[in-house]
Amino acid sequence: MATCIWLRSCGARRLGSTFPGCRLRPRAGGLVPASGPAPGPAQLRCYAGGLAGLSAALLRTDSFVGGRWLPAAATFPVQDPASGAALGMVADCGVREARAAVRAAYEAFCCWREVSAKERSSLLRKWYNLMIQNKDDLARIITAESGKPLKEAHGEILYSAFFLEWFSEEARRVYGDIIYTPAKDRRALVLKQPIGVAAVITPWNFPSAMITRKVGAALAAGCTVVVKPAEDTPFSALALAELASQAGIPSGVYNVIPCSRKNAKEVGEAICTDPLVSKISFTGSTTTGKILLHHAANSVKRVSMELGGLAPFIVFDSANVDQAVAGAMASKFRNTGQTCVCSNQFLVQRGIHDAFVKAFAEAMKKNLRVGNGFEEGTTQGPLINEKAVEKVEKQVNDAVSKGATVVTGGKRHQLGKNFFEPTLLCNVTQDMLCTHEETFGPLAPVIKFNTEEEAIAIANAADVGLAGYFYSQDPAQIWRVAEQLEVGMVGVNEGLISSVECPFGGVKQSGLGREGSKYGIDEYLELKYVCYGGL
């Protein structure tokens, strides 16, 4: 994300006309690589009405590499999942463009790593400020390309921007150590240094926040990045590139290479196997994560991965029913059930089961409104595509065929092929698909259980462990269950757990490493031990 207008204000000193040892030359308004002309704004391709009225500067369709907006030999369409209308044609990058982006990031890394933490912090803060100034347009882009209700899209933009703010502050808090050794004439030092170029592969369900959560940490640490956004939602990544450019992030520090589903496999392999890439950060399915791990293994690259989940939501007899229902609504139906931490199965103890199911059904009927994300009052937008609808439909049909009861919903919505009714099932058993396959849709299956031990056993039977939730008023039980759940994040009497200040990640096959929080920047740093002798 850069046209490389370097810091002119923000209280930081200006850099000289070149970085030490880096082939950059000055130009009006900033620095560009010594070879090639200065970047200019790309001509926008034609749009359907879906993004009409937005700032033209934010509606980019080309790749962003080395501070330049570059077209590709081919393009691919991006569609509005609510209507199916084409939003625009975006550059369909291939292996050649991917390798060029990695090379640009590597050349920029030689300079960026030498920039002071204070200056990196100032630039990230400027980027954050620009996101806040443009939050309405950025939210509309998210709604147009992902279908997310506009109110939630606004929430994502704030969440996304807060990662830049957070890591702008963490950039100045990367500390090392001095260790006193047994030898009196030696001292041991531990340095933290940026790892290098990071390949960042992000999903469509949070097309802005999943980028800034990774990129904010990487840039704060002194790394550079190549971002491959999801093929369904490239406009958000490209809009962020434009704002990073306006903020003065130097050329080559942030690069974006959109591509179609057809090219995704080879582009992903190209950036993950390139010897100039030192780090892979991925959010997506466990299946794809395993493929990328194989790519990383050949050159022993550092990886951090946030993969699939099967989040249990447990309601014990001691729970406050109203609180549990409110938490269930927030946890299950955010983004129409399309988040990796959405509750996937509801385990409700026998004594409170009937009251919870009744109250949950009433809350769904009263508070959930299916519609286009741009329509006021919509809480449930479309699923991302028809394949996602088919998956929910398959799980519902499988459950009903095995004895589950549809309490509410249960079928496609009349609005269109990508819409599905918010659905509540009871009499669910563990042999049903919905209990061991991540849904990623508006389906809430309820399993009745008898004892705490039974609930823990069901919850921990999965081979993934991202998030888990439970409701209880018993302090001893709260400690027991929180410690025994095999997940990376636990919500106790709370259905919304994500926060920039807290570590996000899972255990088992839900991933490696943590994002956000003070721990997130460590994913992009190497430790170096220095032995200083002869003292």
Which residues are catalytically annotated?
A: 306
In terms of residues, how long is the chain?
A: 535
CA 481 to CA 320: how far, in whole Å? Answer: 17
* Cβ(8)–Cβ(15) below 8 Å: no
* Burial class of residue 294 (count of CB atoms within 10 Å of its CB; 0-12, 13-18, 19+): exposed
* Cβ(470)–Cβ(314) below 8 Å: yes
The backbone region for 472, taken as left when phi is positive above 0, alpha when psi lies in -120 to 50, beta otherwise, is beta
Q: Please measure the distance between the N-terminal and C-terminal CA atoms of the chain and give it in whole angstroms.
A: 46
CA distances (Å), origin 375, targets 297, 342, 416, 532: 47, 24, 15, 65
SS (H, E, C) 110-149: HHHCCCCHHHHHHHHHHHHHHHHHCHHHHHHHHHHHHCCC
Integer Rg of the chain from CA: 24
Instruction: Write the DSSP string, 7-51.
Output: -SSTTPPPP-SS-TT--EEEETTEEEESSSPPP-PPPPPP--GGG
The angle formed by the CA atoms of residues 452, 453 and 455, to the nearest 5 degrees, is: 65
* Cβ(397)–Cβ(412) below 8 Å: no
As a dihedral over the C-alpha atoms of residue 264, residue 269, residue 270, residue 271, rounded to 10 degrees, the angle is 90
* Cβ(232)–Cβ(204) below 8 Å: yes
The helix or strand, by DSSP H or E, that contains position 479, with its residue range, turns out to be helix 475-484
CA 410 to CA 412: how far, in whole Å? Answer: 7
Q: Which two tokens stand for residue 176?
A: 């090392």
Q: How crowded is residue 260: how many other Cβ atoms within 10 Å of its Cβ?
A: 20
> Which amino acid, one-letter code, is at 421?
E
Give me the half-sphere count of Cα atoms (radius 13 Å) on the Cβ side of residue 387: 1
